[in-house]
């Protein structure tokens, strides 16, 4: 209930101004966001890479309504990838891109503008030896995002995509994208979606996640298991045994600042663990989704406001 309210609030300008204006918000945001500048993002990459973790970096922003801002976001990724190139991490470095941040929401031309911008980012990623994965946003964008994925994969076949288990359609999308060379990041899903398109209960979402996971682990692509859920991680290991997938045949992904102990434990056990590192000043939507996921985060937020 509280989670749904927070997700609804994440799209209201009034709530955005109120939350962003609270002086201590920034301190709390820092738990989930690596910083505002490219330099801070690269420092976080450095720290995590030194600790044996792979990374995927997200320049924060979404639902851009202006072509200039969309181009600027693409430029920010190109700059970031220039810096990552010097670290020589190869495919242990990746960028995650929200198509709505690079123009998808710009009306009739949105698909073309976001594809052009995504191509620029993919070129820079290739030059850095890195990969790119498309984040998945609300359900109205899925067809457009998968269309862009197909177009990008013609020239950049390593481009990956996130699929959200809570959507009824996703089992079908997993089946379509379980072919050789395909990279799919499976997530539960973080947006407020109507009952007409998405499972609403946690148990139903978890069961849908397992069905999708089985399709991806049993397929020929490269599954990227993005969850902090211990039960789903245990099921992934069972499926890896059943389908004889070696450790390098799939990877785990988790968010910056969440379950860092588990990230280290899995990496220590020889798994590839990739940490999703968001940076930039447009942190509001991302931050509200993280609060909505876990009531304890709201308590943490309120304690910080109270000065504790």
Footprint on this chain of ligand FDA (rule: CB under 6 A): 135-136, 162, 164, 185, 187-191, 226-229, 253-255, 258-259, 276, 290, 293-294, 297
Which helix (H) or strand (E) element contains residue 225? strand 222-226
Distances, alpha carbon 10 to alpha carbons 91, 280, 287, 293, in Å: 33, 17, 9, 13
Radius of gyration from C-alpha coordinates of the chain: 18
Quote the least distance from Cβ 93 to ligand FDA, whole Å.
Answer: 14
Ramachandran region, residue 176 (left: φ > 0; alpha: ψ -120 to 50; beta: rest): alpha
Both tokens assigned to 179: 């072919």
By beta-carbon proximity to ligand FDA, the closer residue of 109 and 214 is 214
The DSSP bridge pattern shows strands 251-255 and 131-134 to be unpaired
Tally Cβ neighbours within 10 Å of residue 206.
18
Specify which residues 187 forms β-bridges with. Answer: 164
Quote the least distance from Cβ 233 to ligand FDA, whole Å.
Answer: 10
By beta-carbon proximity to ligand FDA, the closer residue of 4 and 109 is 4
Both tokens assigned to 162: 């996130």
So which residues are the catalytic ones? 135, 185
Distance between terminal CA atoms of the chain? Answer: 26
By beta-carbon proximity to ligand FDA, the closer residue of 11 and 67 is 11
By beta-carbon proximity to ligand FDA, the closer residue of 127 and 294 is 294
Measure the CA dihedral 240/199/292/16, to 10°: 130
DSSP 291: H
Quote the least distance from Cβ 294 to ligand FDA, whole Å.
Answer: 4
By beta-carbon proximity to ligand FDA, the closer residue of 120 and 228 is 228
Which helix (H) or strand (E) element contains residue 277? strand 273-279
Dist. CA 189–CA 295, nearest whole Å: 17
Please provide the DSSP assignment of 116-174 as one string.
Answer: HHHHHHHHHHHHTT-EEEE---SGGGHHHHHHHHHHHHHH-TT-EEEEETTBTTHHHHH
Quote the least distance from Cβ 224 to ligand FDA, whole Å.
Answer: 8
Quote the least distance from Cβ 58 to ligand FDA, whole Å.
Answer: 8
Quote the least distance from Cβ 52 to ligand FDA, whole Å.
Answer: 17
By beta-carbon proximity to ligand FDA, the closer residue of 88 and 230 is 230
Q: Which residue is nearest to ligand FDA (CB)?
A: 228
Quote the least distance from Cβ 252 to ligand FDA, whole Å.
Answer: 9
For residue 107, report the phi and psi dihedrals to the nearest 5 degrees. 65, -145
By beta-carbon proximity to ligand FDA, the closer residue of 127 and 302 is 302
């Amino acid at each position: 209930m509280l989670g749904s309210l927070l997700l609804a609030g994440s799209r209201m300008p009034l709530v955005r101004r109120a939350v962003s204006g609270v002086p201590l918000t920034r301190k709390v945001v820092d738990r989930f966001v690596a910083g505002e500048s490219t330099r801070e993002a690269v420092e976080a990459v450095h720290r995590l890479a030194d600790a044996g973790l792979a990374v995927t970096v997200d320049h924060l922003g979404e639902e851009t309504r202006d072509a200039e801002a969309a181009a600027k976001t693409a430029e920010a990724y190109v700059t970031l990838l220039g810096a990552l190139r010097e670290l020589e991490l190869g495919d242990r470095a990746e960028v995650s891109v929200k198509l709505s941040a690079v123009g998808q929401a710009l009306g009739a031309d949105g698909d073309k503008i976001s594809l052009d911008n995504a191509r620029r980012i993919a070129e820079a990623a290739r030059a850095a030896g890195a990969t790119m994965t498309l984040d998945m946003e609300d359900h109205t964008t899925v067809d457009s995002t998968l269309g862009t994925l197909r177009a990008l994969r013609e020239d950049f076949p390593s481009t990956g995509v996130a699929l959200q288990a809570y959507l009824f359609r996703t089992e079908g999308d997993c089946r379509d994208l379980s072919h050789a060379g395909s990279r799919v990041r499976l997530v539960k899903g973080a947006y407020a979606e109507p009952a007409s398109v998405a499972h609403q209960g946690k148990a139903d979402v978890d069961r849908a996640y397992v069905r999708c996971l089985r399709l991806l682990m049993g397929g020929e692509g490269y599954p990227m298991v993005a969850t902090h859920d211990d039960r789903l991680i245990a099921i992934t290991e069972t499926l890896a045994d059943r389908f004889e997938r070696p450790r390098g045949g799939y990877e785990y992904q988790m968010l910056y600042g969440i379950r860092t102990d588990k990230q280290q434990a899995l990496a220590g056990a020889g798994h590839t663990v990739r940490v999703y590192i968001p940076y930039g000043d447009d942190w509001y939507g991302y931050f509200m989704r993280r609060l909505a996921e876990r009531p304890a985060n709201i308590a943490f937020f309120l304690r910080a406001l109270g000065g504790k």
